[in-house]
């Protein structure tokens, strides 16, 4: 009787499978008594074409350690397959190497291998395979964002409580930039003061006091050169809505004339009613 065909990776000498996922034991620590963590992976599958995660050389891995980085996964598969890139939790476009936040428990990643043949090497790992999780030596870590364990807690504690001289330097730098910006703004306002443009108009700057709600520069209006010279001698007409002050006076005069005319008409009407004895005040 011929041998029964089996699916790739499901042979008796391969890694154990649970729900279609291969189980890869990973050991923390240098000795055999170190803690064992289990990673679950399978070949990536999708119904849509994905240039970043080609199905013929991408594996989907779950239950990653919270401090996993792309460098850790590269070293984990060293000697088995070469990793082209790692996409954590489907976050396309993010750089996992410089990620400052830790992963959550049970995080996932798509691991894209360099060659198609290397996918077979990963899926055909033998039963009893135990990979060593890459250890980090404190001397090898130069980026504070990759600190782990006690070193990370110390770094976060110190970052939340910077020394006084560092705070003073930050504040001084901020105030210096603020003063430079304010000086530049005042210089530009002074430069525009009483300077005629190509059309013969000048920007008149009304300066006020430095108050809580004002920086002292006041409002800015456009006027001709002659008007700018006479600005301090004669007040311009104030505009109320769409009307000037003299227009408001003329309108009030017309209204008073209309009231007087109506009053005279009412007097004549009352007089006629009295003569006709039809006047009934109540």
CB neighbour class for 81 (10 Å; exposed up to 12, middle 13-18, buried from 19)? buried
Mean pLDDT (the chain) is 76
| Predicted pLDDT at 213 | 46
Q: Which of 54, 32, 34, 29 is nearest to 44 (CA)?
A: 54
**DSSP codes, 86-131:** EEETT-TT--GGG--SPPPTTEEEEEEESSHHHHHHHHTPBTT--E
**What is the DSSP code (8-state) at residue 82?**
-
Global pTM value = 0.48
Q: Which residues of the chain, if any, have pLDDT below 50?
A: 1-10, 93-99, 212-213, 219-220, 235-236, 238
Q: Give the Cα separation of 138 and 40 in Å (integer).
A: 29
Whether the CB-CB separation of 150 and 138 falls below 8 Å is answered with no
Whether the CB-CB separation of 113 and 121 falls below 8 Å is answered with no
14-42 per-position pLDDT tens digit: 899 999 999 999 988 766 677 889 999 99
């Amino acid at each position: 009787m011929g041998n029964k065909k089996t699916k790739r990776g499901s042979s008796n000498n391969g890694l154990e499978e649970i729900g279609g996922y291969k189980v890869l034991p990973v050991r923390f620590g240098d000795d055999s008594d170190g803690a064992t963590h289990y990673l679950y992976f399978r070949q990536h599958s999708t119904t849509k074409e994905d240039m970043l995660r080609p199905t013929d050389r991408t594996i989907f891995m779950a239950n990653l350690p919270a401090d996993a980085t792309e460098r850790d996964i590269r070293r984990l598969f060293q000697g088995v397959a070469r990793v082209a890139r790692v996409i954590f939790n489907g976050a396309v476009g993010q750089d996992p190497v410089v990620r400052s936040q830790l992963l959550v428990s049970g995080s996932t990643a798509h691991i894209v291998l360099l060659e198609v043949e290397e996918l077979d090497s990963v899926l055909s790992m033998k039963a009893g395979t135990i990979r060593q999780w890459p250890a980090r030596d404190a001397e090898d870590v130069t980026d504070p964002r990759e600190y782990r364990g006690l070193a990370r807690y110390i770094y976060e504690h110190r970052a939340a409580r910077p020394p006084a001289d560092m705070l003073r330097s930050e504040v001084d730098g901020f105030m210096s930039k603020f003063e430079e910006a304010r000086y530049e703004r005042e210089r530009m306002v002074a430069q525009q003061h009483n300077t005629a443009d190509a059309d013969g108009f000048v920007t008149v700057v009304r300066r006020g006091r430095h108050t809580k709600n004002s920086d002292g520069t006041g409002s800015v209006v456009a006027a001709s050169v002659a008007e700018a010279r006479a600005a301090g001698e004669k007040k311009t007409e104030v505009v109320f809505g769409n009307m000037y002050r003299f227009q408001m006076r003329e309108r009030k005069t017309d209204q008073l004339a209309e009231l007087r005319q109506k009053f005279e008409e009412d007097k004549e009407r009352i007089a006629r009613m009295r003569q006709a004895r039809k006047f009934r005040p109540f």
